[in-house]
Amino acid sequence: MKLGKLRLSFFLLLCFSCSQTWGQGPEDLEDNPSIQRFRDYLRIPTAHPNPDYGPAIDFLVGQANEIGLSTRTLEFVPKKPFLLMTWKGSSEQKLQSVILNSHMDVVPVEEDKWIYPPFEAHMDEEGKIFARGSQDIKALGMLYLEGLRILKAKGWTPLRDIHVVWAPDEEIGSTDGWERLYNSTEFQELDAAIVWDEGRPTPEGNYVAHPGEKALWWLVINATGESGHGSIYYENSASENMFISLNAINTFRDSQKSPVLSGEKTIAEVVAVNSAYLKSGTPTPDGGFTINVQPSVVEAGFDIRLPPVTGIAKFMDKRIAEEWAPKNRNMAFHFIERSGLTKDNEIPVSIADDSNPWWVLLRTAISKFNATLTPEIAPASTDARFARLLGITAFGIMPIEHVPFLFHADNEFMNGYEFLKGINVTVAIIDQYASFPGPLVSAL
Ligand SMILES: *[C@@H]1O[C@H](CO)[C@@H](O)[C@H](O)[C@H]1NC(C)=O
Ligand SMILES: *[C@@H]1O[C@H](CO)[C@@H](O)[C@H](O)[C@H]1NC(C)=O
Ligand SMILES: *[C@@H]1O[C@H](CO)[C@@H](O)[C@H](O)[C@H]1NC(C)=O
Ligand SMILES: *[C@@H]1O[C@H](CO)[C@@H](O)[C@H](O)[C@H]1NC(C)=O
Ligand SMILES: [Zn+2]
The secondary structure of 209-245, three-state, reads: EECCECEEEEEEEEEECCCEECCCCCCCCHHHHHHHH
Question: 208 and 222 in one domain?
Answer: no
pLDDT of amino acid 292: 96
Question: 153 and 226 in one domain?
Answer: no
Q: What is the mean pLDDT of residues 246-270?
A: 97
pLDDT of amino acid 251: 98
Res 258 pLDDT > 60: yes
Which-ligand-closest: CA of 419?
A: 4
Does 103 appear as a known binding residue? yes
Asked if the structure places residue 45 within a domain, the reply is yes
Q: For residue 6, how far is the Cα from the chain centroid?
A: 42
In the chain, how many domains are there?
A: 2
Q: Is 105 a catalytic residue?
A: yes
When pLDDT is cut at 50, 70 and 90, the band that residue 4 belongs to is very low
When pLDDT is cut at 50, 70 and 90, the band that residue 2 belongs to is very low
Going by CA atoms, what residue is nearest to atom 12 of ligand 4? 421
Best mutation site among 424, 425, 426, 431 for ligand 4 pocket (most ligand atoms within 8 Å of CB): 424
When pLDDT is cut at 50, 70 and 90, the band that residue 189 belongs to is very high
Q: Is 170 a catalytic residue?
A: yes
Ligand 4 site residues, Cβ closer than 6 angstroms: 420-421, 424
Asked if the structure places residue 440 within a domain, the reply is no
CATH (domain of 334): 3.30.70.360
Angle between helices 53-67 and 33-42 (to 10 degrees): 160
Asked if the structure places residue 43 within a domain, the reply is yes
Q: What is the mean pLDDT of residues 5-25?
A: 48
**What is the atom index within ligand 2 of the atom nearest the CA of 299?**
14
Catalytic one among 30, 170, 197, 431?
170
Question: 259 and 115 in one domain?
Answer: no
Residues in the 5 Å CB sphere of ion ligand 5 = 136-137, 198
pLDDT of amino acid 444: 59
| Tens digits of residue pLDDT in 34-59 | 999 999 999 999 999 999 999 999 99
CA of 422 to the centre of ligand 4 (A): 10
Question: 185 and 123 in one domain?
Answer: yes
Res 352 pLDDT > 60: yes
Res 1 pLDDT > 70: no
pLDDT of amino acid 94: 87
**What is the atom index within ligand 1 of the atom nearest the CA of 185?**
13
Res 162 pLDDT > 70: yes
CA of 105 to the centre of ligand 5 (A): 8
Asked if the structure places residue 15 within a domain, the reply is no
Phi and psi at residue 252, in whole multiples of 5°? -65, -45
Give the bridge partners for 4, in sequence order: none
Asked if the structure places residue 252 within a domain, the reply is yes
Question: 81 and 131 in one domain?
Answer: yes
Residue 418 structural domain: 22-212+348-434
For the beta carbon of residue 62, count every other beta carbon within 10 angstroms.
13
pTM of the model as a whole: 0.87
CA of 367 to the centre of ligand 3 (A): 11
Please give the share of the chain, as a percent, with pLDDT higher than 90. Answer: 90
Best mutation site among 222, 279, 324 for ligand 2 pocket (most ligand atoms within 8 Å of CB): 222
C-alpha closest to that of 440 among 404, 392, 373? 392
Please give the share of the chain, as a percent, with pLDDT higher than 70. Answer: 93
pLDDT of amino acid 67: 98
Question: 50 and 191 in one domain?
Answer: yes
Q: What is the mean pLDDT of residues 64-78?
A: 98
Asked if the structure places residue 366 within a domain, the reply is yes
Does 383 appear as a known binding residue? no
pLDDT of amino acid 20: 43
Ligand 2 site residues, Cβ closer than 6 angstroms: 222, 224, 297, 332-334
Which-ligand-closest: CA of 28?
A: 4
Question: 312 and 220 in one domain?
Answer: yes
The half-sphere exposure of 392 on its side-chain side, counting CA atoms within 13 A, is 24
Question: 426 and 294 in one domain?
Answer: no
Question: 60 and 178 in one domain?
Answer: yes
When pLDDT is cut at 50, 70 and 90, the band that residue 323 belongs to is very high
CB 29 within 8 A of CB 417: yes
Asked if the structure places residue 2 within a domain, the reply is no
Question: 172 and 90 in one domain?
Answer: yes
CATH (domain of 120): 3.40.630.10
411-275-389 Cα angle (round to 5):
75
pLDDT of amino acid 16: 44
CA of 173 to the centre of ligand 2 (A): 25
Which-ligand-closest: CA of 390?
A: 1
pLDDT of amino acid 15: 43
Going by CA atoms, what residue is nearest to atom 13 of ligand 4? 421
pLDDT of amino acid 13: 42
Going by CA atoms, what residue is nearest to atom 3 of ligand 2? 332
Res 339 pLDDT > 60: yes
Question: 230 and 197 in one domain?
Answer: no
Pick the most confident of 4-18, 223-237, 386-400.
386-400
Does 210 appear as a known binding residue? no
CA of 389 to the centre of ligand 1 (A): 12
Asked if the structure places residue 357 within a domain, the reply is yes
Catalytic one among 105, 146, 197, 401?
105
What is the C-alpha separation between 315 and 80, in angstroms, rounded?
A: 37
Last residue within a domain, chosen from 339, 374, 393: 339
| Tens digits of residue pLDDT in 292-319 | 999 999 999 999 999 999 999 999 999 9
Last residue within a domain, chosen from 299, 320, 339: 339
CA of 332 to the centre of ligand 2 (A): 6
Question: 267 and 134 in one domain?
Answer: no
| Tens digits of residue pLDDT in 85-114 | 999 999 988 899 999 999 999 999 999 999
pLDDT of amino acid 10: 43
Last residue within a domain, chosen from 276, 308, 339: 339
